[in-house]
Structure 1
Amino acid sequence: MTKVRIGITGIAIESSTFSPHRSTVADFHVTRGEELLARYPFLREDRPSWTDDVEWVPLVHARSLPGGAVTEEAYAELSGEILDRVRAAGNLDGLFFDIHGAMSVVGRTDVEAALAAEIRAILGPDVLISASMDLHGNVSRALATALDLITCYRKAPHTDAWDTRERAARNLAARLRHGGKPKKAWVQVPVLLPGEKTSTRLEPAKSVYAAVDEVEALDGVLDAAIWVGYAWADEPRCQAAVVVSGDDEEVIATQAERLAKSYWDARRDFAFVAPTGTLAECLEQAVASTARPFFVSDSGDNPTAGGAGDTSWSLDVLLRTPAMVDSDLTTLYAAIVDPEAVATAVEAGVGATVSVELGGKVDSGPHGPVPVTARVEAIDAEDPVAGTAVVFAVSGLRVIVTARRKPYHLESDFLALGLRPREADVVIVKIGYLEPELYDMAADWLLALTPGGVDQDLLRLGHAGIERPMFPFDAEMADPQLLPELL
């Protein structure tokens, strides 16, 4: 059988328009050639048989830790290379478009749709384009129209991320051999909720997303997907969406409406993935509890949702809480990005006492830099993400400070700095819902509703560009029709 040629490209970032952080080219890890192919487990050794008659054409892919909006200069450089490489790729039968779906660019809206349209203009109408997305991405009509196949994760936390990418590529290869372009039934749902209220660990999201597998198994259906949308960007596309694709128009339209209505009907039942409170309330409960380690999420500045990572509001609270600094408790705080403070610590060396103005230099809205006098307890100058990470000790409080933004999701992240989270009393992490390893480690857990660029209290952020009415901004709005459109 003649091999089909499938290109691979994309830009993947989740961008908070409420964060003052700006994402530049330096924030992206860019892969090309064999390094890009090696990114995908299903394209390494022991490839599945469905890849046998595919010639994979690696173009260029850029991915970044979530952050603030991408600068126009960075987007022009990254998208320009994508378009140039698509033009130079020769005849392609298909394109695997690996994106997040919540990229914002300063001065633009719906940028993934615009990029997909530019790629479509180069490839022409007959080349099939298949997108893999995060379920916290957004699907406008323009994006759904520019793509032939489109799917997203079905788990939050995203334990199925690589399964989803493989499904998007596998479906593309299959449709290039047989069936061609599927029909798509698309409908948006006027609901905008944070991921911490829509985790598939809990009801109602658990059942809502379980129905996606049921729909996909029906005759006439190729794929089904529900997008929660991205809550911390202020664009009309930011809302939930459903796409069901296949060859039976009646079935896919009926099932898209079914999934959309199930999401709408559950809108008031979505609840935070853990008990919540102010940071002070959460700390009080953590101290009083006998559960160890006790985790607290500093959710408003979560760098894996787009927070700047240097919001110092919570650090100020910790330093003014006697149980955190004037007791026998061991408390870990991960982490604050502050390259100036890291440089001071490195120059002074382990064991030295330094005075720094910590955090609040990028996102100073909630609180400015916090004066800290601390002992330098550890330095890791070879962290592949943070660049350099240091530990500042203030009595029983250990504060991780990084030269570059880094989320702390793994036990190994702490161990690299000589910190043992399993033996700590309290662990405070800039995160929303706990990632699997931390979730399994936590004896108990609370979600602190703290300020920052990814504030969980959406109503106080000040959205002005989203479509209205929308739940929960218009809590008593009338039921929408939710009639899918065939694209």
Structure 2
Amino acid sequence: MRVFTAALATETNTFSPIAVDKRAFEASLYARPGEHPATPTLCTAPITVGREVCAREGWTLIEGSASWADPAGLVARATYEELRDEILEQLRAALPVDAVVMGLHGAMVAQGYDDCEGDLLARVREIVGPDVLVCAELDPHSHLTRKRVTAADFLVAFKEFPHTDFVDRARDLWAIAVRTLKGEIKPVMSVFDPRMIDVFPTSRQPMRGFVDQLYALEKSEPNLLSLSVIHGFMAGDVPEMGTKIIALTDDREDLGDTLAERLGRELFAKRGTFMVPQVNEAEAVEQAMAATSGPVVIADVWDNPGGGTAGDATVILADLIRRGISDVAVGTIWDPIAVQICFAAGEDAEIPLRFGAKSAPHTGNPIDRLVRVNRLVRDAQMRFGDSYAPFGDAAWISFDGIDVILNSTRAQSFDPSLFSALGIDPKSRKILLIKSTNHFYDSFSKIAFEIIYCAAGKPYPNKPAETAYRKAPRNIWPIVEDPWGA
């Protein structure tokens, strides 16, 4: 067997002012054929898992390029077309192939392209024809369009949020592909639209129990190959935005249709109960101050670079400063210019510095302080499960008992190693202020005395009923209260 694999991924917040060009991919991951590292990024696990599988099966794996950019705004048209066409040319050169296994995100939007993944998969299908297997792994924070469902034989999405299972789901993808290529099964996709958009963390109920049910059904239900929940991405203003259920069966469309609808209606019945309760910045700081031990983690959930924001909001930090609170470590605030200034000054320098709150309205005001530059690190990285996430050149500055990590490559706070990478012991601080919606939970919960979810400012359109969508469907909850017209 000859199998082609490649990856092209980012998550596009169409409301974000941060445009994405090829430099954004190069800052996060741009690997030409054969250059992909041994460890995967979030959406490139099909490549690294594919190496294991094809070596075991004695098959030939032809690797194309792998590109990943940290979430931001619209991708430049020329950038998307260049990266897409690079993969398509590699595929043409690899022909004939028996299968194409892709690593995608599912929420990429470029200038002129509302459905990048649908466009890419349709072009892949055009090249290989109707009889070659085409499949892909998706992030659940994506859009499931008719175009990509038509183009692919099957799709598998991560189940967990935080996405601790992206390698496991790549193994599922490959296991189904192998059985299909050997003629053991015939995958058929069923899709149900529960007409909603919500946030579904699996670190708490009721989504924890819902996902556990999916695992149980996959083990117990004959002819069921895979179940996926496409959460949807509410900051992507595209025509098919919203939650979807995928049931993949072995030639049992009737079973898949029944399961997908049953599970979709169960999700709809629990709408509005999934997200962790959040407090404002004043309540978050009060609660952290009242804690009897530490570290207390304050998660700035909506200034999350993983959702396409800048990660430079200062609303919570300003409240901490105003109250004179110390023993705080902040990781991170994105400010490439401030980082450059710190590198120019050098370690141990004391300099006046303005940083943060430069990207957009409703993110607070820049902070002006006389700071000490404690540590400078080129190409800093933190752990994220089995992978590493770069956050660029970084500077550890301090003032008034507060430590702040400034970074030059936007990245959400995945893991406490973002602090230790700069020489800060995160367990030694009373308060850790981080930027993430829920991906932080798996690792930070292991060291936190308490976790506080804080909604501060308005850097992210997190209330769909109030968001000024232009393209998104209007017949989904909570944009309308009763999309079923009961």
Using the size of structure 2 for normalisation, the TM-score is 0.90
| Secondary structure, aligned partner of 2:49 | helix
Unaligned stretches of 5+ in structure 2? Answer: 41-46, 382-389
Q: How many residues align?
A: 465
- Alignment of 1:68 with 2:92, yes or no, is no
Q: 2:223 aligns with which of 220, 224, 236?
A: 220
- State the alpha-carbon separation in 1 of the partners of residues 164 and 348 from structure 2: 40
Partner of 1:421: 426
Once the 2 structures are TM-superposed, how far is the Cα of residue 364 of structure 1 from its aligned partner? 4.2
- Alignment of 1:412 with 2:379, yes or no, is no
Q: 1:208 aligns with which of 190, 207, 210?
A: 210
Q: Is the 8 A contact 1:21 1:69 kept in 2?
A: yes
Q: Is the 8 A contact 2:362 2:459 kept in 1?
A: no
Q: Is the 8 A contact 2:391 2:408 kept in 1?
A: yes
What amino acid maps onto 2:144 in structure 1?
V
Question: Residues 7-406 of structure 1 correspond to what in structure 2 (within 5 A)?
Answer: 7-28=4-25, 29-36=29-36, 38=38, 39=40, 40-43=47-50, 47=52, 51-179=56-184, 181-194=186-199, 198-217=200-219, 218-246=221-249, 247-272=251-276, 275-319=277-321, 321-324=322-325, 329-384=326-381, 385-406=390-411
- State the alpha-carbon separation in 2 of the partners of residues 269 and 405 from structure 1: 30
Q: Encode CA deviations 1:107-166: one digit per residue, 9 max, x unaligned.
A: 321221111111111111111111111111221111111100111111111111101011
Q: Is the 8 A contact 2:198 2:272 kept in 1?
A: no
Once the 2 structures are TM-superposed, how far is the Cα of residue 453 of structure 1 from its aligned partner? 4.0
Q: Is the 8 A contact 2:195 2:483 kept in 1?
A: no
| Secondary structure, aligned partner of 1:172 | helix
| Secondary structure, aligned partner of 1:104 | coil
Unaligned stretches of 5+ in structure 1? Answer: 481-487
| Secondary structure, aligned partner of 1:295 | strand
Once the 2 structures are TM-superposed, how far is the Cα of residue 200 of structure 1 from its aligned partner? 1.3
| Greater than 6 Å deviation, 4+ residue runs | none
Q: Is the 8 A contact 2:285 2:319 kept in 1?
A: no
Partner of 2:453: 447
Once the 2 structures are TM-superposed, how far is the Cα of residue 34 of structure 1 from its aligned partner? 2.8
- State the alpha-carbon separation in 2 of the partners of residues 100 and 109 from structure 1: 14
Partner of 1:484: none
Q: Encode CA deviations 1:403-432: one digit per residue, 9 max, x unaligned.
A: 222333223221122211111011100111
User: Is the deviation greater in 160-169 or in 57-66?
Assistant: 57-66
What amino acid maps onto 2:254 in structure 1?
E
Change (3 A) 1:297 1:464: same
Partner of 1:485: none
Once the 2 structures are TM-superposed, how far is the Cα of residue 179 of structure 1 from its aligned partner? 4.6
What amino acid maps onto 1:253 in structure 2?
D
| Secondary structure, aligned partner of 1:223 | strand
| Secondary structure, aligned partner of 1:474 | coil
Using the size of structure 1 for normalisation, the TM-score is 0.90
Let me know the Cα RMSD of the aligned residues: 2.1
Q: Is the 8 A contact 1:297 1:431 kept in 2?
A: yes
Q: Encode CA deviations 1:64-112: one digit per residue, 9 max, x unaligned.
A: 2222221112111111101111111110110001101111213321221
Change (3 A) 1:12 1:126: same
